[in-house]
Each structure stands twice: as structure tokens, then as C-alpha cells.
Amino acid sequence: MMFLFKIKLWPSFSQKYRITIACCTCLLVICVALGYSVWLSSPVLAEQAVTQLIKMKFSDLVEKMQVANWFGKFGIIFSNNLLVSLLIILTGGILPILPIILGIFPNGFIIGLMAGFFEYKQILTKGNFFLSLIPHGVFEIPAIIISAAVGMVWGAWNWRSLFKSTNSEWIISNLRETLTFLPLIITLLFIAAFMEVSVSPYLFST
């Protein structure tokens, strides 16, 4: 396991990663637009979707956040986002399409859906909503996109090696390349959690 000590903070973004990241970014933007468009076509249906989303995905998290101090909130946000990122990467290693299904699509759709929700309820305009996401989103969203891209490339390598390689060395080789991105992802999520607890709530309150 000595390869773990060769991990650097800034990994090498070769062409395959840059192309995959660009594709994931485009898909995320499309999913944001789709989420917001639900409010334009059917506000009643969109409000029901948000209600179910809050009940299923955010209710437990909100309850924990309400009783937690600053460090508790930071820990909840950071650990939750890190778990999601690791899940995206691991599932991508199994099947390359899964990071799109589990990471890019739901995150983009939820952002668009919530932007429409705040505008529909006249809490924030969509412009102010997206501005309020900048402090933590500028770190968190790239972390999710990079996680998805890394998982997809890793999975593509695994399937290619499975059918073409004559030995099992490809398992360690592919894993080593994937792990080089973890420090960057963890750093982005760490900063995102700090910004989400320290800055974003004050932007919403204004």
C-alpha cells in the first residue's frame, strides 16, 4: 500500500479527465435548467416534489443542524458531502454511468428545483438564490463534478482492463490513479463546508 504516500494535493488532469469534467459540467447545467423548468410548466407539481424532497432527503439533516453548534454543523455538512462524493466515485468504478445517475442529475435537478421554489415563494429571486450558492457552491459543485468524472474514468478503465488485461495488476494501477484525486476533493469539500456554515446563512438572511 506504499502507493498511498505518492498522493499529491493537485492531481494531473489529463485529457480524458478534462473532457469528462466538461461533459459532466454541461450535464449539470442542463439538469439545473430542467429542475427550474418544472416550476414554469407545473408549479403545483413542483411544490409537491419539493415537499417530498425535503421530507425524504433534508428533514433529518435539518433537525440535526438545528441542535448543532458551529463545529457540529460543519461536521454534518462535511461528512455528508464527503460520503456522497465517495459513493459517486465507488459506484463509477463499478459502472461508469452511475455517477451521472447518482451525482450529476440529482444535484443539478435539486438546485434548479430549489431555485424555482424560493422564487415561487417570493423568498429569493433566482438570481439571488444562485448568488447565495456561490460561497460554498464554488467549491462543493466542482468537488461533485470531479468525483463524477473520476468515477466514470475509473469505471471505464476497469471494464477495459477486465477484458484486455492478462493479469490483476490493473486493479492497483487503476486505483492508484483514482486515489490521487482524493486530497483535492476532500480539500474542496472542507472549504465548502466552512463557507456554508460561516457565510451562506448570512447571505440568505439578507
Q: Look at residue 6 and tell me if it is in a domain.
A: no
Q: Look at residue 4 and tell me if it is in a domain.
A: no
User: What residues make up the domain containing 194?
Assistant: 15-205
pLDDT of residue 205: 58
Q: Look at residue 128 and tell me if it is in a domain.
A: yes
pLDDT digits (tens, 9 = 90+) for 56-83: 777 788 788 888 999 999 999 999 999 9
Q: Look at residue 7 and tell me if it is in a domain.
A: no
- Grid coordinates in use for 195? 463557507
Angle at 103 between CA 98 and CA 107, to 5 degrees: 150
Q: Look at residue 179 and tell me if it is in a domain.
A: yes
Q: Look at residue 10 and tell me if it is in a domain.
A: no
pLDDT of residue 8: 63
Q: Is the pLDDT of residue 9 over 60?
A: yes
CA distances from 131 to 44, 91, 113, 136 (A): 26, 31, 16, 10
* Cβ proximity of 154 and 199 under 8 Å: no
pLDDT of residue 7: 54
pLDDT digits (tens, 9 = 90+) for 125-158: 888 899 989 999 999 999 999 999 999 999 998 9
Number of domains composing the chain = 1
Q: Look at residue 151 and tell me if it is in a domain.
A: yes
Q: Look at residue 184 and tell me if it is in a domain.
A: yes
